[in-house]
Amino acid sequence: VNSVKVALGERSYDVHIGPCAREMLQACNLRAGQVAVVADQTVADLHIDKLRSLLPDSTLVLTFPAGEASKSLDRAREVYERLGQARIERSGVIVTFGGGVAVDLGGFVAGTWLRGVRLVHVPTTTLACVDASVGGKTAVNLSAGKNLVGVFHQPIMVIVDTDFLATLPERDFVAGLAESVKQALVRDRAFFDWQETQIGTLRARDAGAISELIARGCAIKAEIVSQDEREAGLRAILNYGHTIGHALEQLLEYELRHGECVGLGMLVENALACARGVLARADADRIRDLLTKLGLPVRLPRPVDPGEVLQLCRLDKKTVGGALQFVLISGIGQPVRAADVTGPEIAAALAAIR
Ligand SMILES: NC(=O)c1ccc[n+]([C@@H]2O[C@H](COP(=O)([O-])OP(=O)(O)OC[C@H]3O[C@@H](n4cnc5c(N)ncnc54)[C@H](O)[C@@H]3O)[C@@H](O)[C@H]2O)c1
Ligand SMILES: [Zn+2]
| Tens digit of each residue's pLDDT, the chain (354 residues) | 789 999 999 999 999 998 877 777 776 666 667 999 999 999 999 999 999 988 988 999 999 999 999 999 999 999 999 999 999 999 999 999 999 999 999 999 999 999 999 999 999 999 999 999 999 999 999 998 899 999 999 999 999 999 999 999 999 999 999 999 999 999 999 999 999 999 999 999 999 999 999 999 999 999 999 999 999 999 999 999 999 999 999 999 999 999 999 999 999 999 999 999 999 999 999 999 999 999 999 999 999 999 999 999 988 766 777 788 999 999 999 999 998 899 999 999 999 999
Could you confirm whether 235 is annotated as catalytic?
yes
SS3 content of the chain, % helix, strand, coil (to 5): 55, 15, 30
Q: Can you give the three-state secondary structure of 202-242, one letter per residue?
A: HHCCCHHHHHHHHHHHHHHHHHHHHHCCCCCCHHHHHHCCH
Q: Give me ligand 2 centre to Cα 262, in Å.
A: 6
pLDDT score, position 23: 74
Return the ligand number nearest the Cα of 131: 1
Could you confirm whether 231 is annotated as catalytic?
yes
User: If residue 336 lies in a helix (H) or strand (E), which one and from where to where?
Assistant: strand 334-338
Half-sphere exposure of 338 (CA within 13 A, CB side): 25
Could you confirm whether 179 is annotated as catalytic?
yes
pLDDT score, position 32: 65
Could you confirm whether 137 is annotated as catalytic?
yes
* Ligand 1 pocket, CB under 6 A: 40, 42-43, 46, 66-68, 71, 98-104, 124-125, 127-128, 131-132, 135, 137, 164-165, 167-168, 172, 175-176, 257-259
Could you confirm whether 246 is annotated as catalytic?
yes
Return the ligand number nearest the Cα of 245: 2
Q: Which pTM was predicted?
A: 0.96
Distance in angstroms (rounded) separating the CA atoms of residues 260 and 296: 6
Atom of ligand 1 nearest to the CA of 71: 41
CB crowding 316-349: b at 16 or more within 10 Å, else e: bbeeeeeebbbbbbbebbbbbebeebeeebbeeb
Could you confirm whether 221 is annotated as catalytic?
yes
CB neighbours of residue 281 within 10 Å = 10
Which protein residue has the closest C-alpha to ligand 1 atom 3?
132
Nearest partner of 268 among 306, 290, 241, judged by Cα: 241
Inter-residue contact 185 to 192 (CB < 8 Å) = yes
Atom of ligand 1 nearest to the CA of 67: 20
Rounded to 10°, the helix 207-227/189-197 angle is: 170
Q: Give me ligand 2 centre to Cα 153, in Å.
A: 17
Distance in angstroms (rounded) separating the CA atoms of residues 152 and 137: 5
Nearest partner of 16 among 122, 153, 165, judged by Cα: 122
